[in-house]
Amino acid sequence: MDPHPVTGEPFSSPVPPGAGWPGDPASAETPVARTAARVRTLASSAEDLDSLQARISVCRACPRLVTWRESVARSGRRASFADQPYWGRPGPAFGDPDAPILIVGLAPAANGTNRTGRMFTGDASGDFLYAALHRTGYANQPTSVASGDGLVLSGIRIVATVRCAPPANKPTAQEKAACLPWLRRDLELTPGLHTILTLGGIGWAGALAAASAIGWRVPSPLPKFGHGVQASLERPDGSSVRVVGCYHVSPHNTFTKRLTPEMLDEVLLSLRER
């Protein structure tokens, strides 16, 4: 058992559902998906976002990713975090449940979300993203260091295409397909959504695939991902949802200035327009 960096409460790693971790959406009774077929069943039967996030956060459908996330949590911790408990579970959504804007990222990082249990929290990608969300008025503070640190988002919510940390940040096609029903159901449960921001090409492809799978009209041929590229999707009821592409906030892009703070601010500010 190691103390949580904010609350000081002791937790084992990975963190058992319902053990008191700040922001843990699950309990010991939350149903667990152990196969891709069960992901589809549990996703489609989730009645609201809360139960969807709870089910996501205990999912065990991808054996390679479960082994990886839990081995990092138990024995593969970064030296600077060796005295902290690691979440070691899939990353649930974070942010405003009524948000009209959804950010879709790639997947949790092994020592970021996989440690903290919150999207983009505890690594360089998150430092870059949350500073921008604060500058543009979506976040009440510029940093996101740990669950329970007081961060609140307004008007925006964050999810990932793949909810478990993959080795080398590279999920397989099978893992992406297995996880997609969670995103599909998320889109079905958020009728007030008007804009999706995808960070990187995997988020772009995942958002379009999820929308298409639930009967939304998507452009044909599918537009290619690019920074600033936009596509218009249409729900069966005729309402539209805009998808906006943005380079991922990974150090690979931010350290090389492929994505600058000014570029990200400009994209984030544009999301409020319908």
Residue ranges in contact with ligand SF4 by CB under 6 A: 39, 56, 59-62, 65-66, 90, 162-164, 175, 178-179
Alpha-carbon gap, residue 140 to 40, rounded angstroms? 35
Write the CA distances from 94 to 75, 146, 189, 259, integer angstroms.
Answer: 27, 12, 15, 23
Residue 199 in contact with residue 246, Cβ under 8 Å?
Answer: yes
Residue (37 or 152) nearer to ligand SF4, CB: 37
Residue (106 or 151) nearer to ligand SF4, CB: 106
Close Cβ partners of 177 (under 8 Å, ≥ 6 residues apart): 36
Q: How far is the CB of 107 from ligand SF4 (least distance, A)?
A: 7
Alpha-carbon gap, residue 179 to 176, rounded angstroms? 5
Close Cβ partners of 189 (under 8 Å, ≥ 6 residues apart): 46, 48, 49, 52
Q: How far is the CB of 177 from ligand SF4 (least distance, A)?
A: 9
Alpha-carbon gap, residue 38 to 2, rounded angstroms? 33
Q: How far is the CB of 220 from ligand SF4 (least distance, A)?
A: 27
Alpha-carbon gap, residue 219 to 233, rounded angstroms? 7
- CA dihedral (69, 74, 77, 81) in degrees, to 10, reads 120
Residue (50 or 262) nearer to ligand SF4, CB: 50
Q: How far is the CB of 34 from ligand SF4 (least distance, A)?
A: 9
Residue (73 or 267) nearer to ligand SF4, CB: 73
Residue 160 in contact with residue 91, Cβ under 8 Å?
Answer: yes
Residue (106 or 271) nearer to ligand SF4, CB: 106
Q: How far is the CB of 166 from ligand SF4 (least distance, A)?
A: 8
Q: How far is the CB of 173 from ligand SF4 (least distance, A)?
A: 12
Residue (65 or 131) nearer to ligand SF4, CB: 65
Residue (56 or 103) nearer to ligand SF4, CB: 56
Q: How far is the CB of 84 from ligand SF4 (least distance, A)?
A: 22
Alpha-carbon gap, residue 128 to 3, rounded angstroms? 26
